[in-house]
Structure 1
Amino acid sequence: MDFIDLKSQYKHSKSAIDARIHAVLDHGQYIMGPEVAELESKLADYTGAKHAIGVADGTTALMIALMALGIGAGDEVITTPFTFIATGEMIALVGATPVFVDVDPTSYNLDPALIEAAITPKTKAIMPVSLYGMCADFDRINAIAEKHGLAVIEDGAQSFGASYHGKRSGALSTIATTSFFPSKPLGCYGDGGACFTNDDALAKKMREIRIHGQDRRYHHPIIGLNGRLDTIQAAVLLAKLETFDDEVTARHRIGARYSELLKDKVRTPVLPAGYTSVYAQYTVEVDDREAVQAKLKAAGVPTAVHYPIPLHLQPAFSSLGLGEGAFPHAEAAGKRVMSLPMHPFLDNATQDKIVAALLEAIA
C-alpha cells in the first residue's frame, strides 16, 4: 500500500504528461522555456491572484517572498512553530528572527488571537502556514496585519487547491507561496514552487530575484538568486492541471469519508464553515502514537508524522532560548498527530482496510 500513490496518478494522465515532456525535449528550451510562462498564466487564473511566478521549489519561494519585501537583519517575522523547518529556516536565512506564536489546537494553524501580543517595532510580516491542506484564518490575520502595517506571507506549500470563504489559497495575502514537490496536492516530478501576489511591484521584484536580480540580460539592479522553475517541471504541472479539479473533488470525498468512518473514534480534521481542504495530509490524533504506528505497519498500512518536533525545540533554533512548554498546543500536537494514506486514487476498499486497522490498533 502506498502512502501517496503517484504511480496510479501517472498512469491516469500518462499521455498528457508524456506529450508535454516530449514537447520540451523537442524544442530544447530547458530553462525558462515557454511552458513556464504558460503555467504561470494558468496558475494565476486558477488561484485568482494577479501574478504567479514559477520558482525552483517551495523553500525558495519563501525566501524570494521575504527578499521582495526587503526583510532582513534586525527584522522579525511572526510565524508558527508547528510546521516544516523551511518556514522558520528562510526567515533566519535572510537574517531576520522568527517569532513563534502557538497554534490553534483544532486547526493546527497559527492562532490569530495570539498574534498581536507578539508584535514589536521590529515586526515586518506575519507568515501563517496553511497546514495539512486547510487555509489559516486570513480574515483575522489580514485585519491584524493591516492595523499594524505588516505584510502577510501565506506558506501554502500544502494548500494549493484549498479555498477560504470563496477565495483560493494563493490569493489571500500580500504574497503567497506554494510547493510542487511530488507528494503535494499538485506535484511535479522533481522540485518546483510558485509565488503569488496582486502587487505589480512585488511581482516584478520576485521575477527579478529568481534570475539573480536581473531586469535584463547581464543587468542586475538588485541581489537575487538562482530560483528558476525548470521547463520540464512546468510541463508536468501543465499536464496535471488538466485533471486537478477532479483530483481535488476526490480529495474532498475521501477526506469526508475518512472523517465519517472515524467519527467519535479518534480526533479527525475539523473544517469550519467557509473552508475547504485538499488534505495534503489526512491527520488524526492518537494516544501512544508509536505503538499505534507499529500495529498499522504490521497490518501493511504506512503512516507519517508531520511534525514530531516543533521548530522552537529544534537545535537550529536553540539560540532563541525557547524550551519545552513555550508553545503547549504545538508541542501537544507534535506528540499526538499521525497522518494516514491520502491521495485521489485511494479506493473505498483500501480506505476500509486502513480504517479497520486503525480501529484495531487503538482498541
Structure 2
Amino acid sequence: MSQKIDFIDLKSQYRALKDAINSRIQKVLDHGQYIMGPEVRELEAALEAYTGAKHCITVASGTEALLISLMALDIKPGDEIITTPFTFVATAEVMVLLGAKPVFVDVEPDTGNIDVRLIEARITSKTKAIMPVSLYGQAADMDEINAIAARHGNLPVIEDAAQSFGATYKGRKSGNLSSIGCTSFFPSKPLGCYGDGGAIFTNDDAIALACRQIRVHGQSQRYVHTRVGVGGRMDTLQCAIVLAKLERFDWEIEQRLALGSRYNSLLDAAGIARIQQRPDRDSVFAQYTVLLDNREAVQAALQNAGIPTAVHYPVPLNRQPAYRHLGDPDQTPVADQLAARVMSLPMSPDLEHTAQDSIVAALRSI
C-alpha cells in the first residue's frame, strides 16, 4: 500500500476540529466544573434538538444508557426482554445484571437486524420489554416492532442505537423511534467522545425523571435517595468534546452516506456480498461490513497488504460462555451464519476515495 489506512481515522477528524475541541476543553479547565458542569445540559439540549426527542439524558457510557433505561422501567429478576443475539455483549449484559432474562430472536440474513417476523412467537407473560439493535448503523424495523409491542400491552421498546446515531428511519432520527433510545459516544461511534459516554432519549416525562435520578445514585435532591441508582454521569469534558464534534457532524453524516453508497457500488460490481440497506431508511455505517466464506484467509491477506479489518461479531451472545445457559443457541441459525461470515472494512468520514479504491481492489484480488 502507498498510504497507511486506519480502520477508523480519528486523527484526521481531530485535525479538522482541533481549535474547536481544544477551546471547548480549555473552557472546562477554566471553570473547573468537571462533574455536571454547564456543558452537560448544553449537550443534552443540542441532542434534543437534533433528534426531536423531548428529553436527552447524558450518561457515562452506552452500556450505562441501557442499564439505566431498564432500571427506569423497573425491570426485575425473572422478567424477560426480547432482543437479538447478534450484537455487542452490552445489550444482554445489562439485562442479566438486573436478574432479567434475554430472550434471543434470530436476525435477518441481509441486514443482521432482528427479524420482526419471529418476535411475536417469543413473547410470554414474563415479557417486559423489546430491545432491538440498530446494527452497523441502520435501524431495525421499528414501526413493526412498536406495533407488536402495542398489541401486547404497550410493552416498552428500547432501541439500542449505539451504532446508528445520525441515521434516519422513514424520516425520523434513530434514538427517537420508540419508548426509549440509547446511544454510545465511544470514540469509534459515528458521534464519539475521547473516552466513554452515552445518552438516553425519551418523550416520556416519568421515564426521563427516573433516568436523571438513577444516573446520580437515585437522588431526587442532594443526599435524598428516592431510587436505587448508579454513578452514571457523563463527564463535563466528554460532553464538551461531543459539542465540538457536533459542529461538523452533518457533514460527516453526508460523507458516511456517500462513502457507504460508493462502497456498495464498488463491491456490487466486484460481486462481493455485503450487508444490505433498506430503501426506507439510511445507515451511518458505523461499520461497513461484507460477507465472506473464507474470512480468516482474507483477513490475513488484507493484513499483509496493510489493510486493517475487524469482525462484528464473531460469536452470537447465546453461544457465549456466560449466556448460553439462557436459551437454546440452535434457535438462531442465521446469527450463527453471519457470525462466521461478517468482516468490516475501514470506514470513517475522512476515508479518501483512493484508499477506498485500494481496499476494494485488494479485496477483489484476494
Interval containing the TM-score (normalised by the shorter chain) = over 0.9
Name the counterpart of 2:139.
135
Q: Does residue 81 of structure 1 match 2:103? A: no
Superposed displacement of residue 322, structure 1: 2.0
1:241 to 237, 246, 259: 246
2:324 paired residue number: 318
TM-score after normalising by structure 1: 0.98
Query: Shift in Å at residue 267 of structure 1?
Result: 1.3
Query: What is the deviation of 1:270?
Result: 1.8
Q: Give the aligned partner of residue 105 of structure 1.
A: 109
Alignment of 1:1-363 (within 5 A): 1-149=5-153, 150-264=155-269, 265-323=271-329, 325-361=330-366
CA distance in 2, matches of 1:277, 1:245: 14
- Contact kept? 1:49, 1:171, Cα under 8 Å: yes
Amino acid at match of 1:285: L
Say which SS state the counterpart of residue 290 (structure 1) adopts: helix
C-alpha distance in 2 between matches for 1:99 and 1:176: 19
State whether residues 103 and 327 of structure 2, in contact with CA within 8 Å, keep that contact through their aligned partners in structure 1.
no
Q: How far, CA to CA, are the matches of 2:73 and 2:277 in structure 1?
A: 32
Counterpart-to-counterpart distance in 1, 2:108 and 2:17: 38
Could you tell me how far apart the structure 1 residues matched to 2:32 and 2:171 are? Answer: 40
- Tell me if structure 1 keeps the 8 A contact 2:104–2:327: no
1:320: Cα distance to partner? 1.7
Aligned pairs, how many? 360
Q: Which moved more, 1:340-349 or 1:260-269?
A: 260-269
Q: CA deviation at 1:136?
A: 0.7
Q: Is the 8 A contact 1:289 1:338 kept in 2?
A: yes
Aligned letter for 2:278?
P
CA contact (8 A) 1:259 1:269 kept: no
| Structure 1, gaps ≥5 residues long | none
**Displacement of 1:268 after TM fit?**
2.0
Shift of 1:321: 4.4
Cα distance in 1 for residues equivalent to 2:76 and 2:185: 26
Structure 2 runs not aligned, ≥5 long: none
The one-character-per-residue Cα deviations of 1:78-133 (angstroms, maximum 9, x if unpaired) are: 00000000001111111100000000111110111000000000000000000000
Letter in 1 for 2:216: I
Q: Deviations over 1:23-51 (max 9, x none)?
A: 00000000000000000000111011110
Q: Report how far residue 247 of structure 1 moved.
A: 0.2
Deviation at 1:307, TM superposition (A): 0.2
Structure-2-length-normalised TM-score: 0.97
User: What is the RMSD of the two structures over their aligned residues, measured on CA atoms?
Assistant: 0.7
Q: Secondary structure at the match of 2:11?
A: helix
Distance apart, 1:319 and its partner CA: 1.9
- Offset, 1:138: 0.4
Seq. identity, %: 62
Task: List structure 1 segments (4+ residues) > 6 angstroms apart after TM superposition.
Answer: none
Query: Alpha-carbon deviations, 1:61-91, whole Å to 9, x = none?
Result: 0000000001111100000000000001111
